[in-house]
Structure 1
Amino acid sequence: MVTIKDIHQARERISTIINETPILSSSQLSNLCGNSMFFKAEHLQKTGAFKVRGATNKVMYAAAEGVSSVTAASSGNHGQAVAYIANILGVPATIVVPEDANASKVSAIRSYNGSIETCGTTSDERIPRAEILAKENGGVFIPPYDDPLVIAGQGTVGLEILEQLELVEAVVVPIGGGGLISGILTAVKEIKPSVKIIGVEPVSANDTYLSLKNRQITSIQKTNTIADGLRTSQPGSLTFPIVEKYIDNVVLVSEDEISQALFFVLERMKQLIEPSSAVTVAAAMFDKLNMRDKNVVCVLSGGNVDLGKIGHMM
């Protein structure tokens, strides 16, 4: 399993590349939720999402080992992150994206000189294709979440939260494949185990919720949730044991709740976030956290929104 030492090493490795993102607050949402609400603003991160942390840690390590190229499979944000850091390091990158990938994310990948290949609509389809391409190109596959270096990179979010808000009592984290939450869990629980960590999934993309209920990794069918970054088929084989060991709770939010949270953050907080980020706000707004009078941090995981489709998200 990933250790707190791994996360500290990741922080040192990526410190010259990533931003230390701010923590925002909202008095309106605090009054609505009955908690002091704070927001870890990873939507203001380079490439517009937390993914650049894990991708940078993995690609920098691979580059130091002399890799000739990198390949990734991504619905968008991980692909952007891999293309971004690979471009900085002068390493060719190929990104396999779903056929229905967010147009703005695909455009961003190309802007970082990443080559694009489309494959299917699920992670079960695109990940094997990316692995094949990596072998054909003699390069390295950069997993979107199920990799120790990627997990450790995402865990740096947890280190920053603990330093920026010493009185934090709960952290609410979106769950896709589990890289972000497993990294944050390791960082926070190893340093301050009293802090509650609550994961959030869409009702229609509840693979981690079901896996915890069944006490084993459980797959789900294809889903069309607006939280496109959370559309994984099942938790990772490395991430799930970490989640199972440390997690306090996983809650589910509906598509309507995600939409309302997205609109609230845009209208009241003047912040443009992705639906995948909005799930944490939705969990707080619609009383899914089962807590009062606590200092709660919602992780806003990304802000890469296709503006042409934003009207259909609300």
Structure 2
Amino acid sequence: MKHLKPIIHRTPLTTSSAINYMTEKNVYFKMENQQKTGAFKVRGASYKVAQLTNQEAYKGVIAASAGNHAQGVALAAAKRGIEAKIFMSEHTPDAKIEATRNYGATVVLTGDSFQEAYEAAVEEQKRSHSVFIHPFDDPDVMAGQGTIALEMLEQGPRLDTIIVPVGGGGLISGIAVAAKFINPNIKIIGVQAHTASAVYNRFHDTGPSTLSSVSTIADGIAVKKTGIQTFPLIEKYVDDMVTVTEEDIASAMVYMLERKKSLIEGAGAAAFAALLAHGERIHSNHCGIIVSGGNMDLSRMPHIQKLATNNHLSCLA
């Protein structure tokens, strides 16, 4: 963690007596929405950048992102004084584009989706020979994300379960490996959006592990296929995978905003949503929840409120 201490925040692990009473568990929220850049992604990006040789750093870095990874890479590169070029889709919200530019990166807008931006970034990497920083399928990126577990188990040594949002699997892979190294008996539970469940499907062998399309308010975990390097770690170290509906996620977002005064994005609410929706099957006395990020487009709030109102969990909000 010494590489990250000058760059990242040690985010708080918070509790709520009302939530403990409601869930009949001691619940601990790891507030990565309060991390620099507003999300956990800066951890993996910073650790990856710290591992670069001087020769690699001289060539600069390239990434593709829908937002949070872009800002993490941009900040990490700026801290080391190297150039960063980030490819983003033309439909990326202006706030995320400007935030990435403000950290000093060059932003290239291309294509209608993350996949098209990713493909353009790969082609540019071949031309420039810069270092490509993958958002999840990279051992150094996973290791950086794993520092969350190290902090959590220092802050809350009684934790017996950690619930983690899952997109490509970089976050849960890093957390699972680090947490199980410290406490082999700790349970790691992953959660995906029901409409973006590639890892869940493959984990339970219930459906396709490559999806033709994904659509969810949890855009930070809207990934079409499982990671090549992440899934074997998930298979080995993760104890269970669950899914949550759009309404579940929306209710968790509204609850956190109204009761804990915390603005969190859809992906950041997924783990809490899993606890609310699947609490009866999650046997835990001291349960950790990863609040992975808070970079939400406020223009979507009316839609989120409508989803929450329609949910069977809406009474919680």
What TM-score comes out, normalization by structure 2 length? 0.91
2:156 partner letter: L
Q: Could you tell me which of 72, 92, 99 is aligned with 1:101?
A: 92
Unaligned runs of 5+ in 2: 306-317
Q: Could you tell me which of 18, 21, 38 is aligned with 1:28?
A: 18
Q: Aligned to 2:70, what secondary structure does the other structure show?
A: helix
1:34 partner letter: E
Is the 1:34–1:293 contact (alpha carbons within 8 Å) kept by the matching residues of 2? no
- Give 1:35-50 correspondences, 5 Å limit: 35-50=25-40
- Give 1:1-314 correspondences, 5 Å limit: 11-62=1-52, 64-67=54-57, 68-214=59-205, 218-288=209-279, 290-292=281-283, 294-314=285-305
Residue 145 of structure 1, CA deviation: 0.5
Distance 2:261 2:131 in 1: 39
Is the 1:34–1:292 contact (alpha carbons within 8 Å) kept by the matching residues of 2? no
Distance 1:51 1:264 in 2: 24
Q: CA RMSD in A?
A: 1.8
Is the 1:29–1:285 contact (alpha carbons within 8 Å) kept by the matching residues of 2? no
1:79 partner letter: A
Q: Aligned to 1:144, what secondary structure does the other structure show?
A: coil
Question: 237-246 vs 97-106, which deviates more?
Answer: 97-106
Q: Aligned to 2:278, what secondary structure does the other structure show?
A: coil
Is the 1:96–1:119 contact (alpha carbons within 8 Å) kept by the matching residues of 2? yes
Distance 1:216 1:152 in 2: 29
Question: 301-310 vs 150-159, which deviates more?
Answer: 301-310
Deviations 1:224-248 (A, max 9, x none): 2000111111121110000000111
Distance 1:144 1:121 in 2: 19
Q: Percent identity?
A: 39
Residue 113 of structure 1, CA deviation: 1.8
Distance 1:29 1:62 in 2: 43
Q: Aligned to 1:197, what secondary structure does the other structure show?
A: strand
Is the 1:169–1:296 contact (alpha carbons within 8 Å) kept by the matching residues of 2? yes
Residue 121 of structure 1, CA deviation: 4.9
Is the 2:90–2:113 contact (alpha carbons within 8 Å) kept by the matching residues of 1? no
Is the 2:63–2:73 contact (alpha carbons within 8 Å) kept by the matching residues of 1? yes
Distance 1:216 1:287 in 2: 21
Number of residue pairs matched by the alignment: 304
- Against the structure 1 CA distance between its residues 160 and 138, is the aligned structure 2 distance closer, same or farther, given a 3 Å change threshold? same
Q: Aligned to 1:13, what secondary structure does the other structure show?
A: coil
Deviations 1:119-174 (A, max 9, x none): 44554433222121122223111110101110110011111111110100110000
Unaligned runs of 5+ in 1: 1-10
Distance 1:242 1:161 in 2: 20
Provide the residue aligned with 1:5 in structure 2. Answer: none
Deviations 1:11-40 (A, max 9, x none): 122221111111011122222211111100
Distance 1:98 1:285 in 2: 33
Is the 1:123–1:233 contact (alpha carbons within 8 Å) kept by the matching residues of 2? no
Distance 1:162 1:138 in 2: 39
Q: Aligned to 1:108, what secondary structure does the other structure show?
A: helix
